[in-house]
Structure 1
Amino acid sequence: MAGVSLKCGDCGALLKSVQEAQDHADLTSHSNFSESTEAVLNLVCTTCCKPCRSKTETDLHTKRTGHTEFVDKTAEVTKPISLEVPKVAAMDIDEPAAADVSTTSQPEEMVAPEVDKKVLEELEAMGFPTARATRALHYSGNASLESAVNWVVEHENDPDIDEMPMVPVNSKVEAPKPSLTPEEMKQKAQELRERARKKKEEEEKKTEREKEKERIRIGKELLEAKRIEEENERKRLMALRKAEKEEERRAREKIRQKLEEDKAERRRKLGLAPEDPATVKPSAPVVEEKKSMLPVRPATKQEQMRECLRSLKQSHKDDDAKVKRAFQTLLTYMGKCCQKP
C-alpha cells in the first residue's frame, strides 16, 4: 500500500505533506521521518465544521466549545502522499481556471491558522514562543490576550504545546480586532500572570499544610503505639514478677513443711510427744510476706544466737562478771553437746 502520510520517528506525529514535515523539523529539530500507511485523522465538528487531526484536538475543542459530535472524513481526503517538495511560484492572476483545476487535483493543504498579529506580538514580548502563542490564540477563539494567556496556563503541560497548529486553507477565518489597547493588554496579562502565580502558591501552601497535618497525625499514631507497647511490656513484667513471687512462696512453703516433717520425725525418734499445732506460732516469713510485697529472708540460727547474746550483754552491762560467767557456762554446755550430742 502506498504511503498516505509521513511519520516522525522521534515523537510519532503524523504529517500530511513534505511541507508539514519541514515545518515540524524547523519547530522541533526532529529529522527522522518515514513514509506511513496510517492516515492523518480528519474529524470534522458537526456543529461548527472545525477539523481536528487527533483525539487530543477533539477533546480540547469539546472542552472549549462544548461540541461533542464529530464526523470522521479521513477516508474522503486520504490520498497517496507526494514526497516532492511543492514549488512556490507566482501564479498568473489571469488564469483563475487553471488555479481551480490544480487545487481540486491536490489534497487539501494545511496551513498555520491566521491570528491577530498584534496580540501575537504581545504574547511573544511576554516570553511565549511563536508556536505556543499561535496555538493559544487559535484554540482560545482568537478573541483576546486574556483568553490566550488563560489557555496557556491551563494547557502548559500538554505534550504538543510548542507545536504549530495546522488547519485547512478553507478554514482560515479573519481574526477579530482586539478590544484593548496594548498598554491595557500588557497590564491585563501581568494581572493574569500574577493571579496564576498566587493561585499556584496557595495550592502549594495548601498541599504543604495537608502534608504537615499528615506528619502530625502519623507522629501521634507512633507515640500512641509506643505508649501501648510500653504499657503491655510493663504489664507483662508485673505478671512475670507476680508469678516469680508465687513460685518463691510455694517453694518456701514446701521447705517449711519439710522442716516440720523433719522436726516431727526427730521428736518421734527421741520419744517425745508431738507438738500441739495450736501452740505453734506462725513463721515470721509468712507474716512479713503479708505486710510487704518484697521477699523477706528468714533469720538464721546464728543471727538468732547473736541477738540473744547481745540482749544478754545489754541487760547486764553494769555487771561484766556475771555476763562473762554466763558466756563461759554457755560455752561449756555447747562443748558438752558437741562432744556427746
Structure 2
Amino acid sequence: MAGVSLKCGDCGALLKSVEEAQEHAELTSHSNFSESTEPVLNLLCTACSKPCRSKTESDLHTKRTGHTEFVDKTSEAAKPISLEVPKVSATPEDAATATTNQDEEMVVPEVDKKILEELESMGFSTTQATRALHYSGNAGLEAAVTWIVEHENDPDIDQMPLIPANTKVEAPKPSLTPEELRAKQQELRERARKKKEEEEKRTEREREKERIRIGKELLEAKRIEEENERKRILALRKAEKEEERRAREKIKQKLEEDKAERRRRLGLPPEEPSVAKPAPVVEEKKSFLPIRPATKAEQMRECLRSLKQNHKEDDARVKRAFQTLLTYVGNVARNPDEEKFRKIRLTNQSFQERVGALKGGIKFLEICGFEKIDGGEFLFLPRNKVEMAVLNSAGSELDSAIKNPFFGVL
C-alpha cells in the first residue's frame, strides 16, 4: 500500500506533506521522518466545520467551544503522499525571458557606466550591478541598491540579463557627486541593516509564540489524556465490582437452592423466610477496594515536587539542590562499598546551603535509605541497605526534575 503520510520518528506526529514535515522540523528540531500507511486523522466539527487532526485536538476543540459532534472524513481526505520537494516558482524576470522569441538576437542591456562603477566600488559584482540597474530602470544608485537588497536571494542574481537587440532603453539619469555618493551609501547600508534586524526580531517573536502555543497544547493534551485514563480505570473498577456482586448473588442463590433441596429430601418443611439468617457484616467490608501503598518512586517524586513548590521563588537554588542530590545518589550507586560516599555530615556548610536548608532535601535522602546517626550529626546509608533499584529510581526522578521545565508546575 502506498504511503499516505509522513511519520516523525521522534514524537510520532503524522504529517500530510513534505512542506508540513519541513515546518515541523524547523519548530521542533526533529529530523527522523519516514513514509507511513497510517492516514492523518480528519475529524470535521459538524457545528463550525473546523478540521481536527487527532483525538486530542478534538478534545481541546470541545473544551474551548462546547462542540461535541464530529464526522470522520479521514478516508475521503487520504491520498498518496508526494515525496518531491516543491520547486521554487520562477521570478517574473525569468518568465518574461522564457516567453521571448528565441530566434531574436539577445544582448546585454546598456546601463549608466558611472553608477555601474559606483556599485562595483561598493562590493557588488558587475553582473549583480548590471541586473539591478536594468530592472530598476536606471533610476539611480539608491534604486539599484534597493533592488539588490530585495532580490539578493534570487537564484539568478548572478546571471547577466539579456534583452532583445531592438529594445529601446531609457536614457540613464545623472549620477551623484562623490560626497552625495558616500552619504547615500551609508544611508542605504544603515537602512538595509535595520530592515534585516527587524525581520529577524519578527521571525524570532513568531517562533517563540509558536513554541509557547505548542507547549501549552502539549500540557493540555497530557492533562486530558491522564483524565481519560483515570476515568477508564474508575469505569473498569466499577465493572469489576458489579461483576463480583453478581457472582456473589449467584453463589448465594445456588446455596439457598441446595439447602432447600436437602430439606425436601429429608422430609423437612421449607424454611420460613423470617427465620433466614441476616447477611454477615463481613460482606460490607469486602465491597471496599484495597488501598495500594505508594511506591518509593512515587514518594520520591512527591518529595521533589513539594521541594520545588516550597521554594518556587528561587528556581536556580532548587535546580542546584536537585543536581547535588543526583551527585550523592550517583556516587553511592557507582561506589557502594566506599563508606565516604554513604556518610554525609549534616552540619557541613556546603551541604546545608545546597540541600539541608531546603524543606524536603533530607527527606529525599531518607527515602533512598539514609539514616540519621550519632545524635543526628550524620546521615548514613548502611552497606547492607543499599538497594540499586531504589538508587536507580532516585536518579531517574532527579534527572526528570532537572530536565523537565514543567516539573512541579501542575
TM-score, normalised with respect to structure 1? 0.47
Pair member with larger Rg:
1
TM-score, normalised with respect to structure 2? 0.40
